[in-house]
A and B are shown apart, each in its own frame.
Chain A
Amino acid sequence: MPDGGALPPLAARAGPLRAISGALHGRRALALLLLLAPPLLWFGVVYLGSLLALVWQSGYTFDAFSMSVTPARTWANYRALLEAANLDVVLRTLGMAGAVTIACALLAFPVAYYMARHATGALKGFLYVAVMLPMWASYIVKAYAWTVILAKGGLVYWVVEKLGLLAPLEWALSLPVVGGSSLSTSNLGRFLVFTYVWLPFMILPTHAAIERVPESLLQASADLGARPAQTFRRVLLPLAFPGVVAGSIFTFSLTLGDYIIPQLVGPPGLYVGSMVYTLQGSVGNVPLAAAFTVVPILIVGAYLVLARRLGAFDAL
């Protein structure tokens, strides 16, 4: 063993940090508390606090004449939500959110399945990046790009004309709910853009869930006599479902709260997001805006509880 040069005694490094470390040793709860204090304080005050303040404000009164808010408690804002016009807004938003979620699920599954079960090595990495990059590309750039693509002289119309599909497109645009005067002012167009923007959020959790299904389960199913379609339906689909639910949290919640895409693409007609924005902005009717936000809070909250029950949180 090395000799010569005595070793400094163990307690050589004294100091405030060591004293703190010693005080915390064995006191796990205290150390935990100290670590969590800054983030929890921040979130408690900044985020939860403002959320609570917002919900609290939904009970305030808005005087339409003086355009001012008073702390007088009232249920008027919630009653206003049930008025036809406002209810329309909520239902319109919910309808689109649902449609987009379904479309994303249908489109995402083939990609996720292919990535998980058929792509290997470099190809898999490539596909992963290919899905991830558009997700991180600027939201507003993507929305803007679609206004360009859907415009009358733009790409889609050019392709449609070249393929001679103008007549079917006109027919689709003439349908009551879905259509509009042109693609970029129709619900169809809006639906397309929403689906596009949230698609990667559905692909990635679905892919993760499918990846987690062990190959041995599928082989066991085949071994027991199931044809590929049956194995898919009875084994893979139920196990991959939580991933789809996890992805749907995003597509649903993000559509529910968006006010920019409805503004850029689609027919006039307010969404919950736009209601909130305009109400608190120029009008200054914060209480009603707050009441409107309670709608997505409750819906997303209920959705999260449901999703948790379906196992989506493990897929996240």
Chain B
Amino acid sequence: MRSDAPARAPAPWWLRALAWGVVAFLHLPIVVVAIYAFNTEESAFSFPPKGFTLRWFAAAAERADLLQAVFLSARVALVATAVALVLGTLAALALARGRFPGRDACTLVFVLPIALPGIITGIALLSAFRIGGVDPGFSTIAVGHATFCVVVVYNNVVARLRRLPPSLVEASMDLGADAFQTFRRVVLPQLATALLAGGILAFGLSFDEIIVTTFTAGHEQTLPIWLLGQLGRPRDVPVTNVVALAVMLATALPILSAWWLTRGTEDVTGLGR
């Protein structure tokens, strides 16, 4: 590298090969699932696939237990996202600017549910529910999910708030708006994309979560739990393949839109799972 070399020199071939190789590796299972979803053969472990068919999609749509699991996952995700949006935004508004003792500690507390392994969160919540005499069910699942979804919303909103010029808030107050009017008319519109992205990510996180959910779910089945159960049923494999593919497609779209909304920033991945 000479000092007057261009900023982006072409990469050596082996680096390119390595990089693209790893990226391909990342997508391998996804492609495999996609292929198998259309396989005619019932014992779908065999490779190469025997033929092409769409009939497993129809079979999946008729499974009552599957549909129930999907609805439960969706309902839980909605509730968890709503709670996370409120709590995450409040926390972000408080912590975005200004230093005060305990500020770092607060951020750490919000991050813990995602940083600590899921079993810890799961068993802690479960035993707390047991002590409190609460039966595992919809609310326990939702409470658990909301807790670790907060940080996803928080990161997105904080990043957006930090880019908001303080003079905008001052200008609004200068022109006669009190704190609440200013929030509604100036801050909230600016936060819109961050809230949307954070909400989408929180929804995705909740929809996909399995470890904490297995502790807090009792007899209920969310979609990931349903999938886990399916793994013990080799004869159901084709339907499982179809559902797996559908889930991946369904989550890809919102994640892409969340990325699109927060492009040019580092918000999207902030400690997301």
In the complex, A touching B, CB below 8 Å?
Answer: yes
For the residues of B in contact with A, the DSSP-based class is helix
The smallest C-beta distance from A139 to any residue of chain B, in angstroms, reads 6
> B45 and A151: CB pair below 8 A?
yes
Say whether A199 faces chain B, with CB atoms less than 8 Å apart.
yes
State the total of A-B contacts with C-beta under 8 angstroms.
Answer: 277
B123 and A289 contacting across the interface, CB-CB below 8 Å: yes
Q: Contact between B176 and A10 (Cβ–Cβ < 8 Å)?
A: yes
Contact between chains at B248 and A153 (CB < 8 Å): no
Q: Determine the chain A residues whose CB is within 8 A of the CB of B93 once the complex forms.
A: 35
Question: Which residues, 261 to 280 on A, are CB-close (under 8 Å) to B?
Answer: 264, 272-273, 276-277, 280
Distance, CA A249 to CA B120, complexed state (A):
16
Q: How far is the CA of A53 from the CA of B123 in the complex (A)?
A: 10
Q: Are A51's CB and B110's CB within 8 A? A: no
Q: Is A42 an interface residue (CB 8 A)?
A: yes
Residue pair B8, A118 in contact (C-beta under 8 Å): yes
What residues of chain A lie closer than 8 Å to B22, measured between beta carbons? 107-108, 110-111, 199
- Flag if B124 contacts A53 (CB, 8 Å): yes
Q: In the complex the two chains form, what is the Cα distance from A20 to B86 in whole Å? A: 20
Distance in angstroms between the alpha carbons of A260 and B86 in the assembled complex: 32
Which residue of A114, A155, A316 is within 8 Å of B47 (Cβ)? A155
B26 contact from A134, A139, A256, Cβ within 8 A: A134
Chain A residue, CB-CB nearest to B46: A153
From A117, A132, A141, A158, residue with most partner B Cβ within 10 Å? A141
**B36 contacts partner chain A, Cβ-Cβ < 8 Å:** yes
Check A296 for interface membership: any CB of B closer than 8 A: yes
- Report which residue of A54, A107, A145, A218 has the largest number of chain B beta carbons within 10 angstroms of its beta carbon: A145
Query: Which chain B residues border A196 with CB–CB below 8 Å?
Result: 25-26, 29
The interface size of chain A toward B, counting residues with CB under 8 Å, comes to 104
Closest to B243 in A: A141
Stretch at the interface among B162-170, B187-195, B250-258: B250-258
A301 to B5, CA, bound (A): 44
Name A25-79 residues within 8 Å CB distance of B.
25, 28-29, 32, 35-36, 38-40, 42-43, 46-51, 53-54, 57
A17 to B184, CA, bound (A): 12
Q: Are A145 and B15 in contact (CB under 8 A)?
A: no
16 residue pairs A–B, Cβ–Cβ below 8 Å: A21-B179, A35-B90, A43-B110, A46-B128, A47-B109, A118-B10, A118-B11, A118-B15, A133-B255, A134-B27, A144-B240, A155-B32, A199-B22, A199-B25, A258-B119, A273-B119
Can you name 10 extra interface pairs (CB under 8 A) apart from A51-B124, A117-B8, A132-B268?
A29-B100, A51-B120, A137-B247, A138-B208, A141-B244, A222-B3, A253-B117, A258-B117, A280-B126, A316-B271
In the A-B complex, list the 6 residue pairs whose CB atoms are closest, starting with the nearest: A257-B117, A50-B128, A145-B29, A114-B19, A21-B178, A35-B94
